[in-house]
Structure 1
C-alpha cells in the first residue's frame, strides 16, 4: 500500500523540485503522478520534443526513492496543434467547434488527433521504457463518453450502425422509426442525438449513440495502449475515471487496462437525513468490481474544492486521513492525493491541494503526514483480499437509459444500488458491485436493482443463478426495455415474470408523494417514487401497500424457483426498510452480520486465507463507540482492545 500525490512540476520554478522531493520523502510519499497536461512542454513545436525537464524531475524524485506515474499528455493538445489542424477540435451540440483554451476539447476519433496522440506517446515510451523509476503509465485523463458531432464522428457512427444492423431496414426496425415519420431512407440522414434534450428523441438512437461513444473511447485507448505495448510489454498501464457528465461504461473503458484508477472526492458535508446515501464506499466497491481486483485512487480529496462551481468547505479534521484509509479498506492498493500544492494560476487555483497558496505546512499537511505513517504500518494488508458473499449488479446501459428517459420525479438508478449497499454495510458485510455479465454463481445473495434494459445473456445469467440455488432480489422497473431500449410488449416484468412468480397489473408513478407498505411481520415503512401493483402467481407477499386504492395489494414478493429464491421489490423505500430487508436476507442466506453497529460505521474484512483483518471506519462527524465480541489486536495502536472508540472519520483495523 502506497501514498502518493499529483504533482505539476511544469507549473513551478525548477528550484522548488528538490525541496518538494525532500519534503515528500520525509513525509512518506512514495509516488508522484506527472505530465497529464504537459504536452506543450514536451512538444513545444511540431515534431520537436523536449524531455530534459521531465528527466530532471524523475531523476530528482528517484534519488528520494519516490517513483513516478507517467501520463500521456493527450488530454490537452498544445495550441499550435489546434491552430495547424482546427479539424481536431470537438464539435458541440450546436454544430460549432468548441473554443479552445481549456482541456479535453479534442475529437478522439479524428485521424489527425490520433496520429499526434500516438506520436507523443510513442516518443515518451521509447524515451522512458526500462526506466526503473517509472512505476506505471496513465493514458490521457478522465475520459468520458464524449459527444462530438463533427463530420468524422457522424461518418464513424453511421459505419458503426452499418456493422451492427447491416442495412437501413435493420436500423429502422431496431429504432422503431415509424414514430413521427422518422424512417431513414439513407444513412446520411442519421444524426447524433444532440440537438434536443434526450427525452425528446428516439431512445434507441440515444442508447446506440452512447454505445458508439464508449466504443470510440475504447478504440482511442486501445490505440495508445498498443503504442505503449510495442515498446514495453511489462509496465502496468491504466487510465483514470469518475462519475461525470458523460459517465463512461467502466467495463469497456478498462477492458484492456491492467488496473482501474478512480478519482475519489468524497463529500465534505455530512447530511443529516439518514436517507441520503453519501458514503463513497459504494463507489470504491464498484471500482474494485470493474476488473474484480484491487484498484488505485489516482486523485483523492486534499482540500476545499472549487473550479466550475463555488468552493466547498475545507475537509473536516480526520477526513483526509480517514477517506484515504476507507479507500484502502475497500481494495485500493495506492492512493494519490490531488494535489501536492494548490495552483497559483489557472482555472483550478481554488481546487486545493495538501499545501495552500502560502506553501506553508498547515493542518491538512499534518494530517496527511499522519496518514503516511499509518499506511506504513499496514504492510500486513498487502497480500489480503476482500471476499464477499453479496453482489450488487451495476449496468452502465441501464444507467444511461434512465438518463435518456427519466421515469419520475426523484427516481435515480444509482440511488437504488446505494440503498441496498448502505443497508448491507450497516451489518458489516463485504459487498461486491459488479457487472450483470459477471459469473455470480459463487455469491449467496445477488441484488439486481432496476434492470431496465435487458439482454438475453443477462436474463439467462440470473435464471441460471436462481435455478442453482441462489437468492436474487429484483426491483421495480425491471424487464421494461429490450436491448434496443424499446418497450417490451408484455406484462411487466416481462422476461422475469416466471422467475419472480408474479405479474404487475398496474403501476403508479407517485414521484415525491408518499405511500406506506406493511411487511409480513407488521412493520410499516414509507415508500415513494414508484409503486408496482403485484399479482402473485406462485409467489407470496412479503409486504403489501397499506394506503389508498391499492391497499392490501402486494408491493414486495418472494418466490421459490427451482433450487433458489427470487424477491421482487416493487417500490422505492426509505432506508429503514432496506435495513430490515437486508437483515432478513442475510439471516435466510447465512451471510454473517454484525449486530449493534452504530449508524455510519462501515466495516470491511480483508483476509490472506489464514488471518482476517477487520477495518472499522467512522464515516460520520460524531464520535462512536463499537463494542467488540472479544478482545482484538489493533493494527493502528498496536494494542489489544475490547471496544473501539472512534473519532469522526477515524479508522481502526483489528485482527480477528
Structure 2
C-alpha cells in the first residue's frame, strides 16, 4: 500500500533494520578511545550512533577553517564494527568566536535582556545573519560526509524550543511583522478585523506599528487574537529555520533520511514534520516519576510524536538517572531502562538510542548518566543495554512494518491548547483532558492513541474531541462524515466556541457541530454548586464548569442538579449530557470538562456503544499495546510494577522475548516485557 494513502499516524517506517544504539560524543574524550568504544558498542549489539549536535566549535575552530577529521575518524571506526552514524547539524551551540563578534544575534527575553554565551539555544533563529551561518555550517558538514555510506541520516539541530521558545529581539519583531503581512495579504485592514482591534482602541495603521505581545498583562490582558498569532508565528518561524537546513541536506545527498528530536511546546509538529522523513522524540520517563501509574507521562509524549508522522525514532532514551545543576532523578531500578525503551517501541518507535554512551566528566550534564559511568567500567546498565540490543537484533524484523493499533482516537490540535491558554479562566487545557483520556483507556487495555485533527479518521471506531475551542468548516465536516459513516463521537465543553481568529462565534453553540450533535448550548460558566446525575444509573459526576444543553434531535442522558445554593444559577434538571443518532453513528456531548470521575464513566459508555474489545486482562498499570501489519500483530505487555504480574485474555501465539508459546495467559516479571506475535 502507498504510505501516502494511509492516515499520517498509521504510516510505518522504511528502515531496513531496527535501529539500536546510543548518543556518542567523541569530542569529550581522548581520540584514542574511539576504536575501543566502537568494539564495546559492537559487543552490546549497537548498529547506530548519533553524534556532533554540539560540536560546531570543534568542526570550525575559526571562521572558514573546517576540520571534520575527528568525526570522520569516528564514523570509519564505528563502521568497521558494523555501526552506522546519524549526524546532527550543530546550530544549537554556535561557537564563541561567532557570538563574540555578533552579540546582536543573541535572543532577548521579555524584559529586553540579551542572552549570553555559555549555554545553548542562545542565538536567535530568526536573525537573518545567524540563519546564513546555519546554512553555511550545514552545507560544509553535508559536503564533507556526502560520499560516506556509513552516514545514514541526519537530525536537524537539537530539541528546538527545549529551553526557550520566545524571543523579543529586533529581528523577531521584523520577522513577526513580515509573517503578519503574509498571513493577512499585506492588508492592515484584514489584520485589524482578525485581531478585533476596535476593542480598547487597538487599531493599527501600518504593520510597522505592531510589536510582539510581550506580557500577558501590560498592564491589562493582551489581545488574545494577537497572542494566538504569535504562537502560530513561533511555530512557523522555527519550521522555516529548519527547512533551510533540510533543503541543503536533500540537495547534497537525496538518499539521507532527515528527522528532528522533539517534542516540546509552541511547535505545530504536524506541519513542522512535513519537511522531514519522520519526527523523533527524546524520552526521559523519570520526569513524570517512577510509580507504576506514572507510565502515562512517557506514553503521552510518545503519542504527541506518533500523531505527527506515524512510526518514529527515539534519539535519546533514558540510559541512567538524569541530572543537571539543580536536580538528579531517581536511578532506574534493574529492568526499568529496558522497560521504558519497549514502552516507546510499543507506541510506534522503530529506532531506540539511549542517552548517552558514557557519562561526561564536565559541563552542565556531568550527572546526566549514560550507559557507562565516568570511570568507563561496564556495569548493570551496560548489561541491560546489551540485553535490549540482543533482543531487538533478533526480533527487530518482526517489529518493522507494523504500526500501532488505534481503535479510539483522541483529537490532537496544536492551536487548541494555545487558544485556551490565552484566555483560560482556570479551565483545564485540551492537553490535560487528552492525557486523562489516554491514561484511563490505557488502564482499560483499549487500543487508543492521539490523532491529529488534520489527519484522516479512517480505521477509528471512536473519536474523542476534548474542548476543541477553535473550529472551521473543514474540521466540522470531517467530524460529521466520521459519525455518519458509523463512528461514535464524544465532544466535551467549549468545543467550537471560536473561529480561527480566536473570536467568539455569532452562532448559537456548538456552532458548526450543532447538527451532528443535535443540540444547542443555552448557557455556560463556572460553578461550585453543580453535579451531574447520569440517567438511570444513579451515578453523580462532579463538575466545576457547566453547559446547559437543549436537545433538538438528541436524547438527554444526564441532568444537572444543585449540591448547594440552588438559586444561584439556572434551573435544576437541565441537560448536561446528550446523545444524538446521526447517519449510522452516534454523537455524545458532555457539557463539562472530563475529570477522573466523569472520564471513567463516560469512556466506558463510549467503548460499549462502539463494541470496543480490550487487548487483555491484568492489573491497572500493566500496559497492553498492539502493533500490527497485514500479516501479523504484536501485543506488547509492559509491567510497570516492581513485582511479577499475571496477564490473561491475550492472543494465542509465540512470545518473542522468551521464545515460548503463549496460550493466552502469561506472567510478566517485575519491570518486565512480553511481546506476543499472532
Question: Do both share a fold (TM > 0.5)?
Answer: yes
Match of 2:296, SS state, is coil
The answer for the alignment partner of 2:537 in structure 1 is 522
Q: Please, which of 243, 247, 266 is the counterpart of residue 285 of structure 2?
A: 266
- Listed one character per residue, the Cα deviations across residues 144-201 of structure 1 (whole Å, up to 9, x for unaligned) are 2832222222122112212222322111111111222211123222101124459921
Match of 1:587, SS state, is helix
Give the Cα separation in 1 of the matches to 2:46 and 2:272: 29
Matched, 1:654 2:664: no
The answer for the alignment partner of 2:477 in structure 1 is 460
Give the Cα separation in 2 of the matches to 1:219 and 1:405: 28
Q: Is the 8 A contact 2:195 2:226 kept in 1?
A: yes
The answer for the alignment partner of 2:575 in structure 1 is 554
CA change 1:565–1:193 in 2 (3 A) is same
The answer for the alignment partner of 2:153 in structure 1 is 136
CA change 1:38–1:517 in 2 (3 A) is same
Deviation at 1:258, TM superposition (A): 0.6
- Listed one character per residue, the Cα deviations across residues 399-457 of structure 1 (whole Å, up to 9, x for unaligned) are 12222223326x23212112222233234333341221112143221111110122332
Matched, 1:179 2:196: no
The answer for the alignment partner of 2:666 in structure 1 is 644
Within 5 A, what are the aligned runs for 1:268-287? 270=289, 278-287=296-305
The answer for the alignment partner of 1:233 in structure 2 is 254
Matched, 1:298 2:320: no
Give the Cα separation in 2 of the matches to 1:635 and 1:273: 24
CA change 1:268–1:239 in 2 (3 A) is closer
Give the TM-score, by structure 2 length: 0.91
Q: Which runs of 5+ in 1 are unaligned?
A: none
Q: Is the 8 A contact 1:41 1:50 kept in 2?
A: yes
Q: Is the 8 A contact 2:532 2:558 kept in 1?
A: yes
Within 5 A, what are the aligned runs for 1:362-381? 362-379=379-396, 380-381=398-399
Deviation at 1:551, TM superposition (A): 4.7
Give the TM-score, by structure 1 length: 0.94
Give the Cα separation in 1 of the matches to 2:530 and 2:369: 44
Give the Cα separation in 1 of the matches to 2:297 and 2:179: 39
Match of 2:593, SS state, is strand
Match of 2:242, SS state, is helix
Q: Is the 8 A contact 1:519 1:544 kept in 2?
A: yes
The answer for the alignment partner of 1:470 in structure 2 is 487
Q: Please, which of 411, 415, 420 is the counterpart of residue 393 of structure 1?
A: 411
Matched, 1:65 2:85: no
Q: Is the 8 A contact 2:615 2:624 kept in 1?
A: no
Give the Cα separation in 1 of the matches to 2:212 and 2:414: 20
Give the Cα separation in 2 of the matches to 1:217 and 1:649: 39
Q: Which runs of 5+ in 2 are unaligned?
A: 1-17
Deviation at 1:228, TM superposition (A): 1.0
Deviation at 1:71, TM superposition (A): 0.4
Give the Cα separation in 1 of the matches to 2:595 and 2:229: 34
Deviation at 1:568, TM superposition (A): 1.1
CA change 1:647–1:515 in 2 (3 A) is farther
Give the Cα separation in 1 of the matches to 2:84 and 2:342: 21
Matched, 1:224 2:239: no
The answer for the alignment partner of 2:378 in structure 1 is 361
Deviation at 1:516, TM superposition (A): 3.9
The answer for the alignment partner of 1:257 in structure 2 is 276
CA change 1:629–1:66 in 2 (3 A) is closer
- Listed one character per residue, the Cα deviations across residues 72-127 of structure 1 (whole Å, up to 9, x for unaligned) are 11111111011222222112212232112210111112121111111111111111
Q: Is the 8 A contact 1:340 1:353 kept in 2?
A: yes
The answer for the alignment partner of 1:502 in structure 2 is 519
Deviation at 1:382, TM superposition (A): 1.9
Give the Cα separation in 2 of the matches to 1:620 and 1:400: 36
Deviation at 1:15, TM superposition (A): 2.0
Q: Is the 8 A contact 2:467 2:593 kept in 1?
A: no
Q: Please, which of 192, 216, 223 is the counterpart of residue 202 of structure 1?
A: 223
CA change 1:529–1:132 in 2 (3 A) is farther
Q: Is the 8 A contact 1:277 1:415 kept in 2?
A: no
The answer for the alignment partner of 1:423 in structure 2 is 440
Q: Is the 8 A contact 1:271 1:278 kept in 2?
A: no
CA change 1:630–1:59 in 2 (3 A) is closer
Q: Please, which of 444, 449, 460 is the counterpart of residue 461 of structure 2?
A: 444
Give the Cα separation in 2 of the matches to 1:32 and 1:428: 34
Deviation at 1:514, TM superposition (A): 8.2
Displacement over 6 Å in runs of 4+:
271-274
RMSD across aligned C-alpha pairs, in angstroms? Answer: 2.3
Give the Cα separation in 1 of the matches to 2:532 and 2:617: 25
Q: Is the 8 A contact 1:527 1:573 kept in 2?
A: no
Deviation at 1:225, TM superposition (A): 0.8
